[in-house]
Structure 1
């Protein structure tokens, strides 16, 4: 067993060259392999997605791509790939691929959330929880963590404001592997450094993410046969509440249906949720309330299925939160203890009843879907769970039925269209 544990801390020999060049038509892009000298040892990535996969990180150093009149991100725009020893305030060991890609997806989400202090916690390249708040970073982090404290265990925390003492104390009270911020208050950094294996990144560009919005990067997908798919990266068209489109559609009989417009609070929560959606694996839905995720459903094969599973997930996480608040035990641990303890069994029953009463915290939430609803079944499930407003791309042949589901609800549920899909395969 000790040998198995060792593989997670052992550097894999890196055979990749120091330079990478890509030529696309007349444009030549040059990249340099990123290495770090830690404890006197110069190495690149510790390993790739798994400990037996050699990997390398490359940063653009020369050349800039323009296609179709659009200029892509390139040298000088780096965030994660630009991190040197100066930005690794504490590394514990050389970074691995998954650490960096989680932070990178945090950057991807936060580029659309620059208006307020925001925090996102990621695991396996998906957000566990995210929140923003005018009340400050500590409030945002607490809301993001509370959304799913189970999944947040061992995750990566990425924030868009200088990390203060209050936030550092909250982070230090739980287990995370990576923290990235544009800067740190000196006392906050001292608190975080008390955990020697915590990777701490200072990425100054996190405070200027609004400069990158609208400018794509070259998104490269590798096929199993060695082929490549190149695409423009996703560009979020919903950057303000006014960018949403009214949800309306006309059926074959010529009947037009129009959904209720969201309230100001619903619209702001939908705006936040659609920003987070940019970093979630499709097929997905996200429930949000008061500027924080309540439940995030990722990577399912059918839309009604992802709604069903996310509702179940929300109830489980909500009950777990109540269990931990009351007993400092997870829901699973409480259920095990309840088998032999009548008082604990009574408490567990109360937690179950409170969870059912609020539908796992889903009552009063809004929901975004990264793709349109092909049938109204998924919308009906959302409404039954307590959703008051929905944003979705629109464009289904059954849009009239989907809008009708919202209009038939009591009280009437709002719906808007985004006019774009947000799949992330």
Structure 2
């Protein structure tokens, strides 16, 4: 009897905890807000962050706290009703859609992919092809060669054997995109119909998949991204209504899905791990994916800095839509800079001089040469390795080149008269 009462108390306590989260209505633009001042965030610091976001070609930026909007800013001609593509941030949406299909009995992620795509979906031998499962597609471990001329290509001729499934992590769009066909084959619905019926309609997210070349790219309003981020933070429920009530799958999705890239779950990026890998590289970097972000953050990230950050410990969802972030397939370094600004919102920290906050470094990662956006006010620079040892570098105007052949993580510290700023520099 005592055990039953204790269990009931725990259930009621969990329900009350969830009830504290605000959920916006499914239709319309009504959305409750929280004054940033109640969180101790300074207007000057918020303005500095908005200025940087605008300079870096952002289109929209939203921060939710316990479901309510704390910050919301649109840039240029972009508005609350504008649509934009998620790019690879949509991968996390796909992982969620696969989870629902499994929960409803349409598939098992341990099934061979040939059960849904048939034989011959790759150029592999029948034995090699039969070894690839849906889970391998979810974890980027199919073993298919990402060194082909077009990593987006889904034709069998583009899907070439490189390694045994589960033995090599590689950010490869082709095998990922074919998860869309797996969903359609398993459920009998088109990808748009499945996602709209099982996710979008249940959380008020208006969006659609657009076919761009080989890719199916999801597009929505910025608040649609925020709605999905809020759903991600709520263990499969939206305002007590189940969307994916499978905590086992969700926990697997937002934790290390394999031992090759600790910072990757099911099509979801993870912070707080001991090492990470990045697209288009086989190098394993030591350290956290976003050292300035909370360690429990997980994220959906896409090209040009399409970002959905979820921080369970703080009840935060952070969304950024934008463009012109270089050639990287994910905006990890850009995301880390967002958190540098987020960490300085508190009025107790004060603000820093404009110049040092606006200094950027690109490309990062690189093969060894990096460009500093602005040298104004810089009095000193130094580079150190992870042991704290000073590393020599050459500087020609805004370009610096590391004088080392060793790939890895380094730290560039820039000093101005009143402040310092440290970049985590990744060389591959």
Q: TM-score, normalised by structure 1?
A: 0.29
Q: TM-score, normalised by structure 2?
A: 0.29
Higher relative contact order (CA 8 A, sep 6+): 2
